[in-house]
Copies of this chain bind each other. A is one copy, B any other.
Amino acid sequence: MNNLLSLAEEKPVSFSRRLFLGSSLAAAVLPSLVRAEEAAPTSAATAFTPRHIPARELPVPTTVSPELQAVIGAPYSPGWNDIPQNATDWKDLAFKSAAGAANAIAAIKEHFGLQVEKTTMAGVPVFVITPQEIAPNNENRLLVHIHGGGFVLFPGEAGAGEGMMMAGYGKFRVVSIDYRMAPDFPFPAALDDVTAVWRVLLASYEPSKMGMFGTSAGGGLTLSAVLRAKSEGLSLPGAIAPGSPCADLTWSGDTANANAYVDNALISRSGWVGAATTLYAGAHDLRNPELSPIFGDFRNFPPAILTSGTRDLLLSDTVRTHRKLRQARVNAFLQVFEGESHAQFLTPFVPETEEAFGEIAHFFDVHLAS
């Protein structure tokens, strides 16, 4: 190297952590290099004026498949901010969510030729999903699926669609947990049910050969289930795949604001989903890590893959979870899909969905014992 160089002249410079803006023009073009002013360490957020974002027309991107363009281009449903006012209304919404998913569930089962058996484990209803072919590496493996739906929706088989796609795309056996939900059974019933099933499965499978996964509420519950297993001294799964996890029920993530009304799946926390997480949490401290795992201790977590989309209201929850796992030295991976709103990587029969499941299946194949 040295033969390529002349000796550099040393120029001592005075060091200051408080850098000064050059010209306003330079600040426009180089904010990342010229802005390093120290902020007040306390109450910093209140010191800043919120940014005014003008109204805009957001086109459907041409950078995704035509099938996904149809999903991105779909309007908000008129019902997204009809918030149930009592337990009966919540249960009616849950019933409708299940009815609305029925055709998709049937199509997924048919497409992959899946065998789906309903049974119970530790008294908790589960669906055991068996694909037509189990991959040779997966013969002694099992994936545990925890469904999404804001801790209130998709009771029964309607919740198992993601588990079915994982079984089909990845050629894994999957157990999908039909956990108890709000309003009748708020926190911590869901987590108790997941943990009870986990205990049963530990009697039959080696933990290093089991993965755990789920999206949205199911992603949050996946993280919380690992925290609970740690605190109870249970063996942990060999790998986990929390998709766009509800990791922060205080809704402090930046994209809860930045992607509001951009995301056409959840739209805004002002709709049913914010009310659902409030209903689930009840009077519990929202910063309880079993409710909001982003506030938990991720040390010794198993390898993880996280999935989200650029328009996802919970993109921040996803990337904050990824960063916090990395800070805890966990072998954690992130994938983010172009233009997708919350949980749209689960849309059946869209090419990007096959890609997302392919990545997750590959991740489990690499990280689970066989």
Contact = CB atoms under 8 A, between A and B. Distances in A.
B56 A96 contact: no
Contact of A346 (B33, B204, B346): B33
Interface in A1-53: 1, 4-8, 10, 12-17, 19-42, 44-45, 47-53
A66 B41 contact: yes
A66 B6 CA distance: 42
A330 interface: no
A62 B252 CA distance: 7
A48 to B, nearest CB: 3
For the complex formed by this chain, how many copies does it contain in all? 2
A58 interface: yes
Nearest to A115: B8
A339 interface: yes
Interface in A247-263: 252-255, 257-262
A135 B359 CA distance: 34
Contact of A48 (B10, B60, B254, B271): B60
Given A73-B48, A338-B323, A262 B33 contact: no
Given A34-B104, A70-B38, A334-B335, A117 B7 contact: yes
B327 A14 contact: no
Contacts of A173: 1
A322 interface: yes
Contacts of A311: 254, 258
A8 B24 CA distance: 69
A233 interface: no
A39 B13 contact: no
Interface in A274-322: 310-311, 315-316, 319-320, 322
